[in-house]
Structures are given as structure tokens and as C-alpha cells.
């Protein structure tokens, strides 16, 4: 059996770093970290990873929380004249 360097994982919010040995699917890494897959983005370099992608062999991942924002209901949005006066 060959040597598989650990996967380095940078977690955001709160910021911390962990390492996990071996090769695993992204969804298994998240499960091991007790993170719900739909709540985060997993990034390797500039690539966004899906849950079925395999990581390992010294990969460095970043796990960021998903940020979503809605827009106000149409009646709550500022009109152009209101925005200009602010």
C-alpha cells in the first residue's frame, strides 16, 4: 500500500486548518468534519469541487460557507428618486 499525503483543509468562519489522511470523496471529507454539504463551497485552487470528486495526495482545499442574500420585496425596494436623495 502506497503513501498518501494528507489533505490540508482550510475552513472559514471560523478560520481553522485541519489535515485528513488518504484519498476521500469531498462528501466524505465533509461528513468527517460534521459539515452539511449544502452549506459550504469546497475549492481546490481555482476549481469548485462537487461531492463526488476525490481529493488526496497533498491537495489543499478551502471550505467556505455559502453566503446567500435575497432581494427586498418589490414594494420595499428604493425607487431611483429615493436612491438619489440619500
Tens of pLDDT along 10-20? 999 889 999 99
Picking from 17, 58, 13, 22, the residue whose alpha carbon sits closest to that of residue 40 is 13
The CATH code for residues 7-66 is 3.10.20.30
What is the overall mean pLDDT for the chain? 85
Residue 80: pLDDT band with limits 50, 70, 90: low
Domain boundaries, the chain: 7-66
pLDDT at 53 over 90: yes
Residue 77: pLDDT band with limits 50, 70, 90: low
Residue 81: pLDDT band with limits 50, 70, 90: low
Tens of pLDDT along 16-44? 999 999 999 999 999 999 999 999 999 99
Amino acid at each position: 500500500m502506497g503513501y498518501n499525503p494528507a489533505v490540508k483543509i482550510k475552513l472559514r468562519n471560523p478560520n481553522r486548518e485541519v489535515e485528513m489522511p488518504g484519498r476521500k470523496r469531498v462528501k466524505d471529507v465533509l461528513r468527517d468534519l460534521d459539515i452539511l454539504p449544502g452549506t459550504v463551497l469546497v475549492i481546490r485552487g481555482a476549481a469548485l469541487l462537487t461531492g463526488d470528486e476525490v481529493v488526496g495526495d497533498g491537495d489543499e482545499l478551502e471550505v467556505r460557507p455559502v453566503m446567500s442574500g435575497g432581494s427586498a420585496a418589490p414594494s420595499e425596494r428604493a425607487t431611483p428618486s429615493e436612491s438619489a436623495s440619500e
